[in-house]
Every structure is written in structure tokens, then in C-alpha cells.
Structure 1
Amino acid sequence: MKSHVRVAVIGGGVVGCSILYHLTKLGWTDVALIERKELTAGSSWHAAGGFHALNSDPGIAALQSYTIRLYKEIEALSGQDVGMHMTGGLNIAATQARWDFLRADHARHRVLGLETELLGAAEIKALCPLVDTTDVLGALYDRNEGHVDPSGATHAYAKAARMAGAEIYRHTRVVDLKPTGRGSWHVVTDQGTIEAEHVVNAAGLWAREMGAMVGIDLPLIPMEHHYLLTDDIPEVMALGKDELPLILDLDAEIYMRQERGGMLVGVYEKDATPWAVAGTPWDYGDTELLPPQLERIGDALVKGYARFPAVAAAGIRRIVNGPFTFAPDGNPLIGPVRGVPNYWSACGVMAGFAQGGGVGLSIAEWIINGEPSTDIFAMDVARFGPYASEAYVIERASEFYSKRFVLAYPNEYWPAGRPAKTDVLYDALKSRRAVFGVSYGLEMPLYFAREGEEAVEIPSLKRSNAFEAVAAEVAAVRDGVGVLDACSFAKYEVSGPDAAGALDRILACRMPSIGRVRLAPLLSESGRLMGDLTVMRTDETRFLLFGSGYLQTWHGRWFDQHLPADGAAFRNLTDELAGIHLVGPKARELLQSLTRADVSAAGFTPFTVRRIDIGLVPATVARLSLTGELTYEIYVAANQGRVLYDAILKAGEAFRITDFGVHALNSMRLEKGIGIWSREFSRDYTAGSSGLDQFVQFAKDSFVGRDAALCERDTPSARRLATFAVDASDADAAGYEPIWRGTEMVGFVTSGGYGHRVGHSIAMGYVARDALAHADGFEVSILGERRPARLLDAPAYDPSGARARA
């Protein structure tokens, strides 16, 4: 065993071996993998081995496509047969909702670079004679789906890595991880100790144990999962050398692929079964399975077999019940772990043979280059926070498992693990008929149901039952005054004698003077966006920063990495401060009735922040607007938030004040063409392409990403963020639908919705710059149908911005 390596990868499954290979591919060969038993021991060896590129998240879809392309590369490099079967795959729909969903996905796949087809019943039957298509409406077909041999694929990664100089230590168990004090780690094993500059936790079923060694609780839980191998089926045997495609039939709750002369049949039972809740036994065997529990999957099999009668008639050759790990949302947990320098998570990769190559690439890029080449926030370990307790993880992961085949609507929030967190206004808002969603574990009001309506939003691909209630909220804000619970916004403090200098180096904007507010792009060294923050300077050495609530760990990790060790301290104040926004033309009159401070147009100008008393409550108040209406953002100590809210409601009676929620906020920001994180802004975009370059202070001597931003300024990006008015009847764009001009796809949607003040649908998206010379002739795909669209050269609502400046 070496005494020192640059990276020690713990875990010899497909993910760990892929990371090892990619480290060597990017030039780091002084690396080692440590496996407690044999390669693939744990979950990889008993996986079904299926792969597909389809995913609703574009970053994950890109990595899955990369993984599929990679198999032939590692097979050629290593000489190890990966057992690749490129059979194609069918995703079958037997309900109208599922068919609408697949049609919408088919349109999005053009944006993601995936070549899929929509097939009718006869075409499905020709590809898979086993299907009873009596009630089938259609299917989505992807030629680039199939399966590999799990052992062969894992060993191909490992062999290619070894050939490039990597070390692999089998039958070597890590028993402790100790920081050296030099930024590196002592990896203590039962065969000796090795010092590693970086440690990657790819330990699969034992990832929780590897996390506990460094004092972290990774939000993971192993779940039991069944699949069956059937006896030979005459209809399959009759195919000869032809091979059936992968089958995913979510309405029948079954997935299948051919296995020799029979079929591999898998289900996700409704009663999900967490395994080894207290911890995975260290002596769990290399090829050990769990006892089968056929009674748990019987109902699902009956439903699935009705669609595949030939499979129902076959005998069962083998039953596999093996554990694999789930995060609460089913996506992997990868990336650097905040507060634990040079410790990386690469676990919870449920679909290891679809995602393992992409995960390996991303981790290697992140370690070596400082960031991955694709936006993978949907996989980032930083998407969860302290609210993700063990009980929460078990509830949420079990729910995800049990609903693996349930159609997930874009406006749907599942109930498990809720409420995990509530703010000080929750009870009051609930009594006022609030319908809640959740962000970063915190309940947030989506809209307020009207009297006589059930306070539940019905999931839908089209405009939901919330439409009229949201319209009423927007109208109330436009004509009078509305109050928004903004507690879910992230709120940070950076303070200290070097706070101004440190932030000037981290943020791309010009630093605000005392009492002023600025919009602050946060860039990586490559010029890609890392955040869209609002920065307020309350005094010489103190700044408040505001951003998306679900990025708290993500942003905290970034500031930890970039702030100096002394002179500037970062604090997350999100739970310490309550946020309330007063919005609308009567907001000033209402606020003035509660304070002696001058909040007039002249006394409190836009982009100003002040400390004032509102009623009995000391508050930080800023004037800026996400809605296009006159807005005062108010932040107070959390334990005074309810007092302030009650005072506002009482005073607001004279102004017919109305609560409004996130849905109304989204409608209004679309009408103003204002982007938000994870939609218009993400790691995939730059300041120049997103329009945030208007807030970049290029004249500063130095800030993170300056060189890349200057380069983009001199050579503009090929695409630019734009806003469209869309002729749509009962549905709106949601994201990643194509934008067409004639026969050419010129861009894609990032977000969409209905603009209640302007009376039409709106979509924002990235469009080729040369197409922006035209105003008309555009179309936007909505639920698979092209709808006429018109490019807007100014915000749809109040283009002059007079109402917000009033």
C-alpha cells in the first residue's frame, strides 16, 4: 500500500471505479481505490444493469447520455467486455395523463439532444410482441437504451484505471478517517494507513458509516428491491437473435428486459421496506441477498402481468431481493461536503449503470478543475440541510420508492416528511386557507384558497384549480396591497473589518454604499453563474445578502471556500430573520401608517435599505421589486415576525390587504421578465447569456470570474435570455420545451406561466442571438403542441417600470 495518494476513493462499486477511471483520464494517476471485499460487492453485483438517457433534469440527462457513450470507450481501453446490449427502450402510456406527459417529454428531448420517437400501438407490438396493447395509447421509444453486465462494466472501469497507473486495494476495510491538519486525510485501514489529499466516499451501502467517521449524517437509507428472472418464454425464444427492448410501463407498475430466453421483471412495491436502518453490517456478504418477500410485490405483479400475459404464464427461475441506497428524492448525493475540507460524497447513485459514468466524470472534474462541466445541482449533496433528519430521510425515501412509477406533476408536492419546518407565520397563514409547498424543508404558501374551495391544489399538467385564486391575488396586489411571507428566502450576513474587501472579490457587482442595495451576480472562475444575490449594506462593516432558500448549504459552502480566514465572517440568518413583503400601490400608505419614519417616494427611494421601527418592531426595510409593483421588503427577528404580521393585517384592513403566495409572485415576475435560480440562472449559464452582465462591474481590478466575464463581453455568447408572449389556451410552458422559428429549433424554455395582469401566457428561455432580430414567427411547444409566440422587446407589464418606482 502506498503511503500517499492525491485521491483515495472508498468503495469498489460501479461509481467508485468510474471515479477512479475519470481521475486518471483527466491526468491524476497517483490515486487509489479501497474496497472492503471484492469489486461490485454491495449493490452493483445484483443490479439489473439497465441504462437510459431519459431524465427530466437536463444535467442528469446529459450525464446519462455520456455514461452510455462511455461504455464502448472503456471496453476498448480495458479489453474487458461490458456485456452491452443496445436494445432500445419503450416507455408505455395507457392513460391520457401519461400520454400527455410523454408527448411533452418528447418535445423536451429535442432540447436535451435526445432522439426519441412517439409510437402507436401497432409499432409497439412490432417491437415487443409480449405487450397486450388493448388499452395502450402509445409509447415513447429511445434507441439509446439497453443494459450491460454489471460485473463486466465495473471491472472495465477498474482495469482502465489500473492501466493508467491507479492502485486498487481489495479486501481492505477503512476503519477510520482522520484529518492530518494539513488539509489532507489519514485513511486508516485494516491493512495500514495511507495519506490522501482528497477522500471520496463512494461506499454505497456503507456510505453512512463513512460519513459518520468524519462527523456527518448523509441523508441516505438502503431500501429492499425485488426483481424476478423468469423461465424461458416461447415467444421470447422465437425471436432468435433479435432482442426485446427495455420496457417501462408505469401504468402497469412494471419494468422488464430480456434475460436470455426469459425476462427480468422488476416492480417498486407500494410498501417500501427500508433496510439496515441502524447501519449496514460490516459483514454483509459479497454476494448476499435478502430473503424474498413475494407477498409484498404480488399486487404489483398481477397488475403488470395483465399487460404481459406471456410473462404471467412463465415460471419464476430466480427471485432477487437486494438493498440499494436512496436519498429522499431518489437522486445521488455528490460533491464536496460543507465543513469537511477535501471530503467528497459520491453515493446514493440508485441508477448506477445509467449515471455512474457521468457521476465519475463530474467528481473528477470538480476535484481537479474546481467545478463540474455540467450543472448537476439535482445531484449535489448541498441540496439538503440540517432538517433532513433520519426520520425525515426514511419517510421521504420510502415515499419516493413507493411512488417510483407514479406520474409526478410539476405542481405537486408529496406529503411525506412534512411539515419538517415551519416559520412563525405558518399557523396564521394556514388559518387563512394557505395551500403550502415546501422548499429546503420549509413550508411556504403557494396560494390562498377562496372561501368554499378546498385548500388543496390538484396536480395537473395544465392550469390547475388554483388558477382563479391566484388571479384574484394578483389583481389585489395590482390594485391595492398584498402581503407575502418571505421567510423561505435565504438570508445571510457577512461582517467584519474586511467584509467589504472580501465581498468585492467574491461578488461581480459594484459594492453598494451604506444604506444602498445592489443585485449581485456570483460567478465561478469559468464565468458560469454561482448565484444571483441581493446585497444590502447596513453599515461600514456589515452586509446582508439574500437569495434562493434552497441554496443555503450550497452558498454557505461557496462562501466558506472563498472568504478569508480572518476579517470577514459569514452567518446564515435564514432561521433567525422573518421576511414579510408589502407589495402594491397602497403599500407605502399602509407602511406609513405603522411607522414614524419617512417612507415617501423622496424619503425612501428605490434600492435603499434602512433600519426603522414598524409598530413595536425594529426592522430592516429595503425598497426593491420582483413583481413590478411598489415593494417594501421587511426583515425582523423571527420571534417578532408574527407580531409584525398581525400589525400589518390590522392596519391593512383599511386598504383591503390580501395575502398572496409563490404562484402569484411567479406570475408577476414573468410579466417583468425577471429570471430566478434553477430556471433562468444556473451553472449552465453565464452573466452575458442571462443578462446579468448589466450588474457586473467590469472596471473592478479583480473578482472571481472576471477574466471569463471580460472574454464573454468581447465575444458574446451564442444565445441570450428572452421573454415571449405565447398563445396558449389551457396550459403553459414549464421548462425545456423547444422554441421554434419556422422549421428551426432556435432555443428552449426555462420557465413559463400565465401573466394575470396582462392576460396571456408567458415563457422565458434562451434563444440563438441571430433569431432575436425577429419579433414574430416563433412557436413554443406546450404539451407537445406548437403554440404561436411573439418575442417581447420589453417587459410585458409596465415596461417603463414606473409602478415600481412610484
Structure 2
Amino acid sequence: MKSHVRVAVIGGGVVGCSILYHLTKLGWSDVALIERKELTSGSSWHAAGGFHALNSDPGIAKLQSYTIELYREIEALSEHSVGIHMTGGINIAATDARWEFLRADHARHRVLGLETHLLTPSEIRDICPLIDVTDVRGALFDSHEGHVDPSGATYAYAKAAKKAGADIYRHTRVMDLKPTGRGTWRVITDQGEIEAEHVVNAAGLWAREMGAMVGVQLPLIPMEHHYLITEDIPEIVAAARELPLILDLDAEIYMRQERGGMLVGVYEKDAKPWAVNGTPWDYGETELLPPQLDRLADALIKGYERFPAVAEAGIRRIINGPFTFSPDGNPLIGPVPGVPNYWSACGVMAGFAQGGGVGLSIAQWIIDGEPSEDIFAMDVARFGPYATPGYTTEKAREFYANRFLLAYPNEYWPAGRDMQHDALFDSLKARNAVFGVSYGLEIPLYFAAEGEEAVETPSLRRSNAFPNVAREVKAVQEGVGILDASSFAKYEVSGPNAAAALDRLIANRLPGTGRIRLAPLLAPSGRLMGDLTVMRLAEDRFFLFGSGYLQAWHGRWFDTHLKAEGVTIRNRTQEYQGIHLAGPNARTLLERLTSCDVSDKALPFMGVREMEVGLAPAMVARLSLTGELTYEIYMPAQCLRAAYLKAIALGQDLGVVDFGFHALASMRLEKSYGIWSREFSRDYTPGMAGLGRFIDFSKDFIGKDAALAERDTPADRTLVTLAVEATDADASGYEPVWHDGNYVGFVTSGGYGHRVGTSIVMAYIDRAVADAPNGFAVSILGEKRPAQIAREALYDPASVRPRS
């Protein structure tokens, strides 16, 4: 065993071997993989081996496409067969809702770079004679689907990595991980010790144990998963070609051909976690769990109605093996917050669809400092301390059981809910609030009318929330509304060197004392890393505000780029909670809550002051995401409920109402205000996103060289707003945008603008057509709807109202 390596990858499944290969592909040969048993031990060896490029997240879809294309490469390099079968795949719809969903997905696939086709029932029958299409509406066909031999693919990655100089230590168990104090790790094994500059946890079923060695609690839980292999089926034996992968979510079944029979899998409703308290170290390298067909009976009966020939076949083998799941079913990859040079590559449930892309991303991140794609949906930093083992188990069970259900854009599943409440939760619930959840915290989406059940019905079309949101927006426009804004992230940065450290971190000028600035964060590549609001309360004291669900993500960036002597960083999100007062009567209501002068002169637009509000010490900032006069008020959490109730009582004659995040989303679209994870992400640059005006090129900051290059050579795409002639549905994201029948871009956000009375999208389109006067269309539920570019904000384009 070597004494030192640049990277030690722990775990010899498909993900670990892919990471090892990609490290060598990018030029690092002094790397090693450590596996406690044989390669593929754990979950990889008993996987079904299916792959597909389809995914609702564009970053993940790109990585899945990359994985599929990679198989031929590693097969050639390793001279080891991966057993690839490029059969294509069909996703069947047997209900109107599913068919509408597939048609909408088909339109989005143009954005994702995927070529899919919609099939009629007779076309389905032609390519898969096993299906009874009596009640089938149609299907989506993707030629870029198939399956590989799990062991063959894993060994191909490993052999290609070894040929490039990597070392693989099998039958070597990692016993402990210790920091050296030099920024490296002591990897202590039962076969010796090795020092590693980076450690990658790709330990699969044992990932939790590897995390515990460094004090990290990864939100993962193994789940039992069954599939069975049938005896030969005459229709398959007689078929002239291999059958495609079959996904029938309405029948709750997936299948692929396995020699002359079928491999049949289900995600049963009675989901069963395995090894909840930890994976046994002596779990065998090729050990399966006892099958429990009684748990599968209901799902199999339902599926067999659609595939009668499969129902008549005998069962050759039953596999019940554990796979690790995160709370939302996506992998946990990237640098683990708070643990330098320790990386997660765990929970990759679809290892043979995503393993290549995960390996590439981790290798790029380690070597280049960032991955090539925005993969926040996989980032280990998307979860925070709320993701406890109990929460993880509940959510993973829910995800598993709902794997085949339609997932609506306005749907929040119930598991793990009601675990975090802010100071206003009970008061808002009493006022008929309908809640969603963000970073484990319940947040108000809208307020149901009196006598109406406080539940939003999930839908691809405008939901029952629509008239209530319209009422809230109208009240904000005409009077004053109160938003519970406690979920926003708040970071206090202070100390004698705070200004100097922040000045390098953010691309804009620092605000003066008592002032506010919007501040993009850039990576060295020039891509966006954040969009923060910076408030300066004193020469050496700042507050940074951002999206609440990015707290761990922001914290990781601050740890790397903001920590310095004389700088103190504190996450004050839970300590400081707040409300927004928005509308033409907002100043009048604030005057009733404070004895301080809040006139336009004393507290101008983009100004911030500390003052007493409702008898509590507070920070009051004047800025607007609503497009109306707005005051953001933050105070100690224990004071907020009393201040809120006082605002409600004192605002009755001013038309005070509660409003939620649905109304805020509507109003910010009317103002063409982008938000993180939609218009702003690591996929985009300031020039693309229209944030170039917030960059101060006269100073030094992270990413300046790349930003200067983009300023001189604008990107091919630009962010625009379009008004859409829609009927009863709005875009929700990643729908294609067309110009004169040609695909020119994609939607980032969509919704209805209640103040202007039209459906609105924000979208990235080709810069070459951005000045075209007309000819635009946006796909909504698969139908092209006419659209017109808005050359200025659709509501109050001069921004008179927030400055009034």
C-alpha cells in the first residue's frame, strides 16, 4: 500500500470505480480505491442495470446522457465488456393525467437535448407485443435507454483506471479516518495506513459509517428492493428483436428483457427500510435479503393486468437487495460542509444511469474546483441539520412508496412535515394558511378563504389556490400585505476585517453604512455562485440575506472564501425572524408600529436602519421583491409574534391582509425579478442573467477575469420575460421557447401575473433573436402558446411604486 495519494476513494461499487476512472481521465494518476471486499460488493452486483437519460432536472439529465455515452469508451479502454443493450424504452400512460404529464415532458425534452417520441397504442403494441393496450392512452419512447451488465460495467471502470495508473486495494477495510493537521487525512485500514489529500466516501451501504468516522451524519437509509426474473415467455423467445425497457407507472411496474424472460420490478407501497441503525460490517459481499412476495402482491397483480403473458410465466429467481436512498431519492455528492477535503458520493440509487456523471462531477470538483454542470439537486449541501435519521427514514420510505406517482410542481408530500415552525406558524394556521416546506421549515404559500379547506390540490393546471392568490395580490396592490419572511437565510459578518473579506467575495461594491446592495457571488470560472442582498449596519458589521434552503451551500462557500483573521460569520436565520410589509399603506402601518422616523428621507429606498418596532429591537430594510413599497422587518424570534399581531390589529383600516409565497412569486414575475435556482444558478453567468450591472469591475473579486472576458464577448443566450397567451395553465420551468417555429430557448420560471392579467415566463433565449418584434411561442403542457417579449417590466416599469 502506498504511503500517500492525492485522492483515496472508499468503496468499490460502480460509483467509486467511476470516480477513480475520471480522476485518471482528468490527469491525476496518484489515486487509490479502497474496497472492504470485492468490487461490486454491496448494492452494485445485484442491481437491475437499467439506464435512461430522462430526468426532470436538466443537470442530472445531462449527466445521465454522459453516462450512457461513456459505456462504449470505458469498454474500449478497459477491453472489458460492459454488456450493453441499447434497447430503447417506453413510458406508458393509461390515464388522461399521465398522458398530459408525458406530453408536457416530451416538450421539455427538447430543452434537455433528448429526442423522444410520442407513441399511439398501436405503435406501442408493435414494439412490445406483451402489452394489453386496451386502456392505454399512449407512451413516450426514448431510444437512449437500455441496460448493462452491472459487474461488467463496474470492472470496466476499474480496469480503465488501473491502466491509467490508479491503485485498487481490495479486501481492505477502512477502520478510521483522522485529520493530520496538515489539511490531509490518515486513512487507517486493516492492511496499513495511507495519507490522502482528499477522501471520497463512495461506500454505498456503509456510507453512514464512513461519515460517522469524521463526525458527519449523512441523510441516507438503505431500503429493501425486490425484482424478479421470469421463466422464458414464448412471445419473447419468438421475437425478432430485444424488447425495450418498459415503465408503466399507472400499473406500478417496470420491466426489461432478461434472456428469454423478463426482469420485473415494483416499488411497493409497503416500503421497508433496512439496517436502520447501521449496516453490519459482516454483511456478505454477495448476500441477498429474504424475499417477501406478500408485500409485492398488490403491485404485481395490478401490473400483470397490463402484461398477461408475464403473469402466466413462472418465476425463475427473486432478488431482494438493499439500496441506499436519500430523503428525496437523489444522490448526495460534493464537498461535505464543515469537513475540509472530505467528499460525499453516496445515495446514487440509479448508479448505472448516473454513475458516470457522478464520477465526472466529483473528479472535476476536486481537480478544477467546480463541476461543469449545476447539480444542486444532487449536492450534499442541499440538506441541513433538520435531516435527522428519523426524518431521513420517513422521507425515504415516502419517496420509495411514491416512486411511480405523478409529481406535480405545486405538491408537497406529507412525511417529515410539521417538524419546524417559526414564531408565526400558529397564528398563520389560525388564519387559514396553506403551508409548504423549505429546508425543513413550514412556510405560508397562500391563505384559503374563510370556510374553505386549507389544502392546495396538486395540478398541472391552475389550482384551487388561484383565486386566493389573486385576492392577496390585489390587497397588496391597493392596501398593505404582511408576508412571513422568516425562512430567508440571514448571515451576520462582522469584525475589523469584515469589509475587506466581503469586498473580495462579492462582485459588487460594498454598500455604505445604512445602505443595501444586491451582490452576485462568482466562481473563478465566472459562473454565478449566489445572489445575496448585503445590508451594512456599521463600518464593520454586515448582514447577508439569501434563499433559506441554501444555508449549508452558502456556509460551505463562506468557509472556503470568507473565513479570515478578524472576521466573524454567524448564521442568524433561526434567531432573527421577520415579516415584510408591502403595499401603498406599508409606511403608514410601519409608522404605527414605531416611534422612529420612517419617512422617505429618513429611510430611503435601499436603506436599512435599526429601530424599535412593536416594542422590539428590529432591523428595518426598505427594498422590494413585490414591486410595491415594501419594508423588511427582522427581529429576535421571540418578539415576532407580538409584533405581527400588533401589525394586524393596527392595520385593519388600511386593508391589511396576509399574503404568501405564491403571491410573491406572481408579483416578482411581473417585475422580471429573477431568483436563485430558477433564473440564477451555476449554469449561468452575470452577462446571461442580466446581473452585469451589479458588478464593479474597478475592484478585485473572485471570478473577475472570467467576468471581464464575458463583458467583452457576450454569451449566446440572454434572460428575457415573455407574456404568454395561456388559458388555464402556466409554464412551470424548462418548457421550450420557439421563434418562427425554431427552438430558441427555455423557460426558467412561469406563473400568472394577477396585477397585469396575463401568464408570464422568464426564459433564456438565443441572443440573436432577442430583439425580434414577434413570432415567439412557449410550450405549455405540450401545446405551443403565442408569446410576446416584454421589453420592460410588465408592472410599473419605472419602479415608481416601491420608491414612493
Please give the range of the TM-score, normalised by the shorter of the 2 chains.
Answer: over 0.9
Output the amino acid matched with 1:585: P
User: In the TM superposition, what is the alpha-carbon distance from 1:519 to its structure 2 partner?
Assistant: 0.1
- 1:516-535 matches, within 5 Å, as 516-535=515-534
- The separation in 2 between residues aligned to 1:405 and 1:562, in whole angstroms, is 42
The match for 1:769 is 767
Q: Is 2:733 aligned against 1:729? A: no
- The separation in 2 between residues aligned to 1:564 and 1:249, in whole angstroms, is 51
The match for 2:701 is 703
User: In the TM superposition, what is the alpha-carbon distance from 1:643 to its structure 2 partner?
Assistant: 1.3
- 1:354-365 matches, within 5 Å, as 354-365=353-364
- The separation in 2 between residues aligned to 1:239 and 1:576, in whole angstroms, is 66
User: In the TM superposition, what is the alpha-carbon distance from 1:661 to its structure 2 partner?
Assistant: 0.2
Output the amino acid matched with 2:20: L
1:427-456 deviation digits (Å, cap 9, x = unpaired): 000000000000000000000000121100
- 1:589-600 matches, within 5 Å, as 589-600=588-599
Q: Secondary structure at the match of 1:193?
A: strand
Q: Is 2:334 aligned against 1:335? A: yes
1:209-265 deviation digits (Å, cap 9, x = unpaired): 00000001000000000000000000000014x100000000000000000000000
- The separation in 2 between residues aligned to 1:78 and 1:570, in whole angstroms, is 48
1:136-170 deviation digits (Å, cap 9, x = unpaired): 00000000000000000000000000000000000
User: In the TM superposition, what is the alpha-carbon distance from 1:752 to its structure 2 partner?
Assistant: 0.3
Q: Secondary structure at the match of 1:23?
A: helix
The match for 2:221 is 221
Q: Is 2:626 aligned against 1:627? A: yes
User: In the TM superposition, what is the alpha-carbon distance from 1:337 to its structure 2 partner?
Assistant: 0.5
1:62-121 deviation digits (Å, cap 9, x = unpaired): 000000000000001000000000000000000111111110110010011000000000
- 1:596-615 matches, within 5 Å, as 596-615=595-614
Output the amino acid matched with 2:585: K
User: In the TM superposition, what is the alpha-carbon distance from 1:395 to its structure 2 partner?
Assistant: 0.3
User: In the TM superposition, what is the alpha-carbon distance from 1:774 to its structure 2 partner?
Assistant: 1.1
Q: Is 2:67 aligned against 1:67? A: yes
The match for 1:684 is 683
The match for 2:183 is 183
The match for 1:315 is 314
- The separation in 1 between residues aligned to 2:118 and 2:419, in whole angstroms, is 41
- The separation in 2 between residues aligned to 1:672 and 1:787, in whole angstroms, is 22
Q: Which deviates the most, 252-261 or 412-421? A: 412-421
- The separation in 1 between residues aligned to 2:127 and 2:508, in whole angstroms, is 56
TM-score, normalising length: structure 1:
0.99
- 1:500-649 matches, within 5 Å, as 500-649=499-648
The match for 1:15 is 15
Q: Secondary structure at the match of 1:323?
A: strand
Q: Is the 8 A contact 1:52 1:144 kept in 2?
A: yes
Output the amino acid matched with 2:750: G
- 1:56-205 matches, within 5 Å, as 56-205=56-205
User: In the TM superposition, what is the alpha-carbon distance from 1:671 to its structure 2 partner?
Assistant: 0.3
Q: Secondary structure at the match of 2:624?
A: coil
- The separation in 2 between residues aligned to 1:470 and 1:765, in whole angstroms, is 23
Q: Which runs of 5+ in 1 are unaligned?
A: none
Output the amino acid matched with 1:238: A
1:779 to 774, 777, 780: 777
User: In the TM superposition, what is the alpha-carbon distance from 1:601 to its structure 2 partner?
Assistant: 1.8
The match for 1:32 is 32
Q: Secondary structure at the match of 1:802?
A: coil
Q: Is 2:765 aligned against 1:752? A: no
The match for 2:672 is 673
The match for 2:490 is 491
- The separation in 2 between residues aligned to 1:703 and 1:340, in whole angstroms, is 25
Output the amino acid matched with 1:497: P
Q: Secondary structure at the match of 2:296?
A: helix
Q: Secondary structure at the match of 2:222?
A: strand
CA RMSD, aligned part only? Answer: 0.6
Output the amino acid matched with 1:626: L
Q: Is the 8 A contact 2:614 2:642 kept in 1?
A: no
1:20-66 deviation digits (Å, cap 9, x = unpaired): 00000000000000000000000000000000000000000000000
- The separation in 1 between residues aligned to 2:600 and 2:568, in whole angstroms, is 34
Output the amino acid matched with 1:233: I
Q: Is the 8 A contact 2:750 2:762 kept in 1?
A: yes
Q: Is the 8 A contact 1:742 1:777 kept in 2?
A: yes
- The separation in 2 between residues aligned to 1:363 and 1:420, in whole angstroms, is 33
Output the amino acid matched with 1:663: H
The match for 2:232 is 232
- The separation in 1 between residues aligned to 2:689 and 2:299, in whole angstroms, is 46
User: In the TM superposition, what is the alpha-carbon distance from 1:603 to its structure 2 partner?
Assistant: 2.1
- The separation in 2 between residues aligned to 1:789 and 1:275, in whole angstroms, is 51
Q: Which runs of 5+ in 2 are unaligned?
A: none
Q: Is the 8 A contact 2:535 2:608 kept in 1?
A: yes
User: In the TM superposition, what is the alpha-carbon distance from 1:569 to its structure 2 partner?
Assistant: 1.5
Output the amino acid matched with 1:534: T
Q: Is the 8 A contact 1:332 1:349 kept in 2?
A: yes
Q: Is the 8 A contact 2:501 2:564 kept in 1?
A: no
TM-score, normalising length: structure 2:
1.00
User: In the TM superposition, what is the alpha-carbon distance from 1:565 to its structure 2 partner?
Assistant: 3.1
Q: Secondary structure at the match of 2:320?
A: strand
Q: Is the 8 A contact 1:392 1:420 kept in 2?
A: no
Q: Is 2:791 aligned against 1:793? A: yes
User: In the TM superposition, what is the alpha-carbon distance from 1:311 to its structure 2 partner?
Assistant: 0.2
User: In the TM superposition, what is the alpha-carbon distance from 1:276 to its structure 2 partner?
Assistant: 0.2
The match for 1:48 is 48
Q: Which runs of 4+ in 1 moved over 4 A?
A: none
- 572 and 564 in structure 1: CA distance in 2 versus 1, 3 angstrom threshold: closer
User: In the TM superposition, what is the alpha-carbon distance from 1:770 to its structure 2 partner?
Assistant: 1.1
Q: Is the 8 A contact 1:775 1:792 kept in 2?
A: no
- The separation in 1 between residues aligned to 2:451 and 2:92, in whole angstroms, is 39
- The separation in 1 between residues aligned to 2:600 and 2:126, in whole angstroms, is 71
- The separation in 2 between residues aligned to 1:465 and 1:299, in whole angstroms, is 33
1:117-136 deviation digits (Å, cap 9, x = unpaired): 00000110011000000000
- The separation in 1 between residues aligned to 2:233 and 2:568, in whole angstroms, is 67
Q: Secondary structure at the match of 2:750?
A: strand
User: In the TM superposition, what is the alpha-carbon distance from 1:384 to its structure 2 partner?
Assistant: 0.2
User: In the TM superposition, what is the alpha-carbon distance from 1:596 to its structure 2 partner?
Assistant: 1.5
Q: Is 2:707 aligned against 1:713? A: no
Q: Secondary structure at the match of 1:103?
A: helix
Output the amino acid matched with 1:495: S
- 1:333-482 matches, within 5 Å, as 333-482=332-481
Q: Is the 8 A contact 2:336 2:380 kept in 1?
A: yes
Q: Report sequence identity in percent.
A: 74
Output the amino acid matched with 1:752: G
User: In the TM superposition, what is the alpha-carbon distance from 1:652 to its structure 2 partner?
Assistant: 1.0
- The separation in 1 between residues aligned to 2:156 and 2:478, in whole angstroms, is 65
User: In the TM superposition, what is the alpha-carbon distance from 1:615 to its structure 2 partner?
Assistant: 2.4
Output the amino acid matched with 1:294: L
- The separation in 1 between residues aligned to 2:781 and 2:223, in whole angstroms, is 34
Q: Secondary structure at the match of 2:611?
A: strand
User: In the TM superposition, what is the alpha-carbon distance from 1:656 to its structure 2 partner?
Assistant: 2.0
Q: Secondary structure at the match of 1:804?
A: coil
Q: Is the 8 A contact 1:90 1:246 kept in 2?
A: yes
User: In the TM superposition, what is the alpha-carbon distance from 1:687 to its structure 2 partner?
Assistant: 0.5
Residues matched between the structures, number: 804
Output the amino acid matched with 1:494: V
User: In the TM superposition, what is the alpha-carbon distance from 1:579 to its structure 2 partner?
Assistant: 1.4
User: In the TM superposition, what is the alpha-carbon distance from 1:743 to its structure 2 partner?
Assistant: 2.0
Output the amino acid matched with 2:482: V
